[in-house]
Amino acid sequence: MSTDLVEMVRKAGIIGAGGAGFPTHVKISARVNTYIANGAECEPLLSVDQQLMALFPEKVIEGLKLGMKATGAKKGVIAIKKKFSPSVNAIKKVISEEKNIELFLLEDYYPAGDEFVLVQDILQKSVPEGGIPLDIGVVVNNIGTLVHMAEATEGKPVISRYVTISGAVKKPQTINFPIGTPIETAIKLAGGPTVDSYKVIVGGPIMGELLPDLRSPIVKTTSGIIVLPADHFLISMKSQMMPRKVVISNAACIKCELCTVVCPRHLLGHNLYPDRIMRVVSFGGEVKNSDLTGSFLCVFCGACTYYGCPMGLDPAKIVWEIKNQLITEGMKNPHRRKELEIHPERGIRRLPTKRLVSRLGLTDYDHLKSPITTPTLKINYVRIPLKQHIGIQAIPTVKIGDKVSEGDVIGRIPEDSLGAMVHASIDGTITKIQDEIIIENKN
């Protein structure tokens, strides 16, 4: 069954639905002791995972049990924030008879959903520097990924995903969209913006990226579409170009170390000191300075930028830029320690979500509900990228003019390569093939 499941998951094109998009069939090919379902959903304004757990708890647990069977895991843990009471109650009911699956209730802090943080809080085990949970016999999967795994056993590939549309929209809600749906269509279905001038963040408000084009598509990793006024603090921060960030950092960094004080990976004992990186950048230090190599350990959660820095600087992006420079010069991560010492103040340095929401200027939107709705969708065309995942780009299996049906394979990966299959999300005709495949349905 485990080999069959791995193949079903591969053919379904399942990837991590809540992160960078690591192909799930590779994860569940490993042998582990513990399988964790990540229901933390730690970024504000997102509600997909908690709603999936509340409405489809059986599918979530079915996916978890399938993953446990495939990996040989003896223990399953589903981690949910305590405040998500409908989700907690629904999951409790489903697992009441399960002997090897337990519920772990998380406090309301950021970033509770970081895999390294989650593993430490649940198992009191440290993931090595530069490592992954598999290194210590653990698999972590997002809730949406588990739902997709359950559906894969029914022969359903990943052709849609639930997305929360929130922020400055008239009707915040969560909708199951075909992959490739233009983001402007999603915003219209949420009633449109409540402000005349606006910008859009795709993903969470902290780790999400500013949307360059409203015609950009929803992909397998799209968890949220956040509409904010064009002059909002978050939009300003995400719009600022790197040269400008460096100039401002040189002028305004007060070397207070607060970026390091709140860094979740530093608190886990990793050799990451954002303040030292900022100091080296401010004084024009050498790119290969040993203080800079800690950038390889950063998860870019933004805690330093959006909570720690009192000067409104962007340490997270500075660290990102330094890491890219080091990679360009051919350097690899030198930090590989396995024995880590947890910071003694880690418990009191966690970032309370409510306070973070206030710092981000999102209080007016945080109380709004984004319920799952099922509107009638008439999607006339989709733009499906051939690379929505970690690994190589999928190879087209269709040509322009071909007629395809929902669920048909339109992009494949070679047997021994890291990547994910791509499927048609609507019925229609192939009209373009480049880095993306466009399907049009003019009926």
**What local confidence, expressed as pLDDT, does residue 432 receive?**
97
**The CATH number of the domain where 288 resides is what?**
1.10.1060
**Is residue 343 domain-shared with residue 413, that is, in the same domain?**
no
* One domain for residues 22 and 142: yes
Of 243, 289, 272, 275, nearest in space to 335 by CA: 272
Cα gap 31→69, rounded to integer Å: 10
3-class secondary-structure state, position 215: coil
What is the signed CA dihedral for 284, 288, 292, 296, rounded to 10 degrees?
140
Give the whole-angstrom CA distance, residue 251 versus residue 247.
Answer: 6
Q: Which of 42, 324, 14 minimizes the C-alpha distance to 141?
A: 14
Whether 260 and 186 share a structural domain? no
Domain annotation covers residue 376: no
Of the residues 226, 247, 266, the one at which a domain ends: 226
Q: Which two tokens stand for residue 437?
A: 């495949």
Do 148 and 6 share a domain, yes or no? yes
Contact between 16 and 24 under an 8 Å Cβ cutoff? The reply is yes
- Would 395 be classed as within a structural domain? yes
Number of neighbouring beta carbons within 10 Å of residue 105 = 11
Residue 366 in domain = no
Same structural domain, 205 and 335: no
Domain boundary residue among 120, 135, 152? 152
How far apart are alpha carbons 282 and 275 in whole angstroms? 10
Biggest CA pair distance of the chain: 63
Do residues 78 and 37 make contact, with C-beta atoms less than 8 angstroms apart? yes
Are 72 and 48 part of one and the same domain?
yes
pLDDT score recorded for residue 54? 97
Could you tell me if 50 and 147 lie in one domain? yes
Is 411 strand, coil or helix?
A: strand
Last residue of a domain, one of 314, 329, 359: 359
Contact 274, 255 (CB under 8 A): no
For 185, the domain range is: 160-226
In a domain, 365, yes or no: no
Please tell me whether residues 340 and 436 are part of one structural domain.
no
SS3 of residue 231 by DSSP: coil
pLDDT along the chain (443 residues), means of 10: 83 90 94 97 95 97 97 98 97 96 97 96 97 97 97 96 97 97 97 98 96 96 97 96 88 93 97 92 66 93 96 95 92 94 96 96 94 92 96 97 98 92 98 97 81
Domain membership flag for residue 233:
no
Query: What residues contact residue 227 under an 8 Å CB cut-off, 6+ apart?
Result: 165, 166, 167, 168, 169, 187, 190, 193, 198, 199, 200
What are 195's two structure tokens?
Answer: 């402000």
If asked whether residues 255 and 300 sit together in one domain, one would say yes
What pLDDT is stored for residue 2 in this prediction? 65
Nearest alpha carbon to residue 167 among 123, 213, 203: 203
Please indicate, yes or no, whether residues 48 and 102 belong to a single structural domain of this protein: yes
Distance CA 370, CA 376 (A): 17
For residue 134, what is the domain's CATH number?
A: 3.40.50.11540
Domain total in the chain: 4
Q: What is the pLDDT of residue 283?
A: 72
pLDDT at 1: 47
Q: What pLDDT was estimated at residue 284?
A: 67
Q: What is the pLDDT of residue 388?
A: 95
Residues 254 and 331 in one domain: yes
Q: Is the domain of 33 the same as that of 84?
A: yes
The reported pTM is 0.95
